Amino acid sequence: MRLTYIVYDLCPTCGSTIRRAAIDRHPTDRHAAIRSLKCTDCGYEKNTVLSLRPAVPPPPKLTA
């Protein structure tokens, strides 16, 4: 399943706004996803691996 959304980030190549992004499942790791950003002006692409594992809560503070 692909999730597409709007992102307003600057392209490092041409300086225009990157407006299109998608999140896909990682092909080999079921606990990860790949976020792809693409510049519509110059075609620059940036991919980031995202963790799908839940965040570990900090240990409780002990008071004496």
Distant-in-sequence contacts of 12-18, Cβ < 8 A, 24+ apart: 12/44, 13/39, 13/42, 13/44, 14/39, 14/41, 14/42, 14/44, 16/40, 16/41, 16/42, 18/44, 18/46
Q: What is the pLDDT of residues 37-59, one digit of tens each?
A: 888 888 888 888 988 888 777 77
Radius of gyration of the chain (CA): 17
Which CATH code of 3.40.50, 2.50.20, 1.20.950, 2.20.25 fits the domain covering 3-51?
2.20.25
DSSP-assigned beta bridge partners for residue 9: 18
Tell me the domain boundaries of the chain.
3-51
In this prediction the pTM is 0.61
* pLDDT averaged over every residue in the chain: 81
The pLDDT, as a whole number, for residue 5 is 59
